[in-house]
Amino acid sequence: MLFLKLAFRNIFRQKRRSLFTILSIMGSFVLCSMAIGLVYGTYGKVIDAFTKGHSGHIQIHAPGFLERPSLFKNIKDEENLTKKIAANKDIISSTPRVLGSVLISQGEKTTGARLIGIDPEREARTTSIKEKIGEGVFLSTTINNDIVLGHTLAKILAVKIGDPIILMTQAADGSMSNDKFTVIGIFTEASDAMEARNAFVHIKTSQDFLVLGSRIHEMVIALNDYSKSTMISKNLKKVMPAYEVSPWQDIEAEFYKAMTADQTGIWIDLGIMLFIVSIGVLNTVLMTILERTKEFGILKAIGTRPQDIFIMVILETTILTFISLFIGMFFALFINYKLSQIGIPYPMPIEIGGMALHHLYGQVSFFNLWVPALVVSLSSIGVSIIPGIRAAKIVPVKAIRST
């Protein structure tokens, strides 16, 4: 208790220096919290857009399909697969898809495209593809030859809503399949690059067109929390060992690698910032020790043990650190909340892994508070060890005579 009283007395005796130290530590904490919030908040929204926009949180394929997609690597028991997926409480919904490569022709123009057969009702529950329609309408539950095109395909073919187009490909039985389709929808240009060259039709229509019967190529799964994707994919793999169960980190590997590299860079930047703040705190504490050299000399002369002086110096820095963190907590929460609502717009969109970033968004979470609080407190208290040792080793006679 005596050390605590002495520490508070010394802190408030030098109000300006204590205020400067508090502001340094508090500023470091708030900046760290804001930076972490921006990184995880922005990527959280991008991951959400990635997964909800097209890929889902987990995908199930036949072995080897992700590495080398093929019309013949397909899933035969879709109904049984759906029942096993539905048994997991963390799964919101799932939807089957049929995938294939086709040539699309309109008049004298021809281009390649990726044909995706979907169940319109289940797809709308699992992803947000339906919300990306810029012109026309989305596919209906009625089985017909309606088709929705990516904006790049529509530009290349110069088609409009209601125009007929011809699709050609080699079917699963080896025959050449071709049929006429009617364009009923075109994706908006704001949709991500992955949708630009895709063509969507009803899943039954695609199965007939590719002569697949009831077979599908992938099952897309949506979870209530994308952070659980790796764990749940492992659990699903146990109940369906015949198939490949891939979390979004494997499906969107390019984006995930870019995101991880960017996060590593942010932590390096934070480390440099904390080092600079730690030097400032060290300088402040050292100046305090130098000014109080005579005081420490008298304390040792009257019998104060060196370890008691060391504890007193550490205790003063600790109190200043906790005051800084307590005040900074309110600023950090307020700033992160505001950034999560309005964000910081980029002058020009930045593309990472095929996804365009238009804003930086903050995130309010416990992680954004305890991590910078722990790092800042350890660095601030840690740098006070050197001044504390120096104060403890002061020679009383020399210290009393010093000016």
Q: Where are the domains of the chain?
A: 2-50+256-401, 70-216
- Asked if 28 and 187 count as a contact pair (C-beta separation under 8 A), the reply is no
Rounded Cα distance, 398 and 387, in Å: 17
Terminal Cα-to-Cα distance of the chain (whole angstroms): 31
- Is the pLDDT higher at 278 or at 160? 160
Query: Would you report the helix, strand and coil content of the chain in percent, each value rounded to 5?
Result: 55, 20, 20
pLDDT level of residue 253 (50, 70, 90 thresholds): confident
pLDDT for 94 beyond 80: yes
Query: What mean pLDDT comes out for the span 207-224?
Result: 91
- pLDDT for residue 212: 92
The average confidence (pLDDT) of the chain is 82
- pLDDT for residue 33: 85
pLDDT for 117 beyond 90: yes
Please count the helices (runs of H) and the strands (runs of E) in the chain: 14, 12
- Asked if 127 and 52 count as a contact pair (C-beta separation under 8 A), the reply is yes
- pLDDT for residue 300: 78
- pLDDT for residue 211: 92
Structure tokens at 18: 């204590």
- Is the pLDDT higher at 62 or at 291? 62
pLDDT level of residue 305 (50, 70, 90 thresholds): confident
Rounded Cα distance, 302 and 343, in Å: 59
Strands 344-352 and 355-360: antiparallel
According to DSSP, the residues that pair with 164 across neighbouring strands are 182
- pLDDT for residue 192: 56
pLDDT level of residue 31 (50, 70, 90 thresholds): confident
- Indicate the SS3 state at residue 23: helix
Of the candidate ranges 151-165, 216-230, 351-365, the one whose mean pLDDT is the lowest = 351-365
Rounded Cα distance, 153 and 273, in Å: 47
- pLDDT for residue 315: 83
Of the candidate ranges 132-136, 139-143, 396-400, the one whose mean pLDDT is the lowest = 396-400
* CA-closest candidate to residue 326, choices 283, 383, 385, 369: 369
Beta strand residue intervals within 334-394, DSSP E: 344-352, 355-360
pLDDT for 108 beyond 60: yes
Chain centroid to CA 49: 10
* CA-closest candidate to residue 321, choices 99, 22, 36: 22
Rounded Cα distance, 125 and 118, in Å: 12
pLDDT level of residue 349 (50, 70, 90 thresholds): low
Rounded Cα distance, 201 and 146, in Å: 6
Rounded Cα distance, 61 and 208, in Å: 20
- pLDDT for residue 252: 76
Rounded Cα distance, 105 and 168, in Å: 8
pLDDT for 120 beyond 60: yes
Rounded Cα distance, 115 and 138, in Å: 15
Q: What's 201's DSSP letter?
A: E
- pLDDT for residue 3: 65
Q: What's 216's DSSP letter?
A: B
Query: What mean pLDDT comes out for the span 11-31?
Result: 79
- pLDDT for residue 283: 72
Rounded Cα distance, 3 and 130, in Å: 66
229: amino acid identity, one letter: S
pLDDT for 193 beyond 70: no
Structure tokens at 256: 């995930």
pLDDT for 366 beyond 60: yes
- Is the pLDDT higher at 323 or at 280? 323
